[in-house]
Copies of this chain bind each other. A is one copy, B any other.
Amino acid sequence: MSLHQSTVVEAALRFLDSEGLDQLTMRRLGAALNVHGGALYRHFPNKETLLDAVADKIVEDMGAPLPEVPWPDQVQLLAERLRAALLRHRDGARVVAGTFAPGANTIIGSDLTIQVLCRAGFPPAQAGWVTFSLFYYVLGHAIEEQAQLRLPTDDDWRDRTERLDVQVSPQYEVALDSLSGTDPGERFAYGLQIFVTGLRHIQKPPAAEADTSGTGTSGTEPLESPRQEQGR
């Protein structure tokens, strides 16, 4: 039974789901494949490379074609697609965050995002910065979300704060209660909307329509010449 890279990656993903990243050692992953730990080094030069491959597998369908909707919706969709991919496997966000060398799927996803932004009128350089900013936001949110999945619920923030002798404001108390009480998806969408709103107004300075809240369905977006003036 000779192993292939894809077999190992798939086993790692299953191991992740059932045991978590902290338990994932070369020896134990090997055992899950009925093989000694050292045998994995026939297929990957080291653990980091193996995890890089796992990370790229996690984001494998980031490059799927996008519906033809206005660019802010496309950006929103890409962010939600990434979040869904990260949450699909236990500790998925942490695995992806630990990646140093981006894999093929990561590149494809970034490229797609950059192209959406360029079509929206952003110069390529800024499109790249925006893409990474968005990536950080989604990743950070997903890491936090998955971290709270395996925290002891018997110890809430109030106990910890008291133990530290820190006086907090009443607003802080409400805010923290809301953090543990509300749907992570809702919180994610809220922050995402802020970002996309900022994006719309940076690209196209405050003019025209007043769209208070709700998903940004700004009108048609033709291909425009990349012109942008950056304040600040």
Give chain A's interface residues, CB within 8 Å of chain B: 97, 100-104, 107-108, 110-111, 114-115, 118, 124-133, 135-137, 139-141, 143-144, 147, 151, 157, 160-161, 164-172, 174-176, 178-179, 182, 187, 189-191, 193-199, 201-202, 205-207, 209-213, 226-232
Which of the residues B165, B171, B178, B205 comes within 8 Å of A115, measured between beta carbons? B171
Specify which chain B residues have a CB less than 8 angstroms from the CB of A133 in the assembled complex.
137, 141, 190-191, 194-195
Closest CB-CB distance, A94 to chain B, in whole Å? 10
Given the known inter-chain contacts A166-B107, A172-B110, please indicate yes or no for A147 contacting B102, CB distance below 8 A: no
Complex formed: what's the CA distance from A172 to B174 in Å? Answer: 43
Give A157 Cβ to nearest chain B Cβ, in Å.
8
Chain B contacts for A205, CB-based, 8 A: 210-213
Across-interface contacts of A102 in B (CB, < 8 A)? 157, 160
Complex: chain B residue closest to A212, CB-CB: B205
In Å, the complex CA distance between A207 and B166 comes to: 39
Is B202 touching A213 in the complex (CB atoms < 8 A)? yes
| A178 and B107 in contact, given A136-B136, A136-B137 (Cβ under 8 angstroms) | no
The complex places the Cα of A33 from the Cα of B144 at a distance, in Å, of: 34
Q: In the bound complex, how far is the Cα of B229 from the Cα of A166, in angstroms? A: 7
Distance in Å: Cβ of A76 to nearest Cβ of chain B? 9
Contact indicator A171/B118 (Cβ below 8 Å): yes
**A202-B193 contact given A107-B164, A175-B127, CB 8 Å threshold:** yes
Question: Is the Cβ of B231 less than 8 Å from the Cβ of A124?
Answer: no
CA distance A229 to B166 in the complex (A): 7
Interchain CA distance A10-B103 in the complex, whole Å: 38
Find the B residue at minimum CB distance from A133.
Answer: B191
Contact A178 B125 (CB under 8 A): yes
Docked pose: A115 CA to B128 CA in angstroms = 32
Indicate if the CB atoms of B141 and A175 lie closer than 8 Å. Answer: no
Contact B210 A206 (CB under 8 A): yes
| A141 contacts B136, C-beta separation under 8 Å | yes
Residues of B within 8 A of A125 (CB): 174-175, 178-179, 182
User: For A212, what are the chain B residues with a Cβ–Cβ distance below 8 Å?
Assistant: 205
Query: Are B199 and A194 neighbours in the complex by a CB distance under 8 Å?
Result: yes
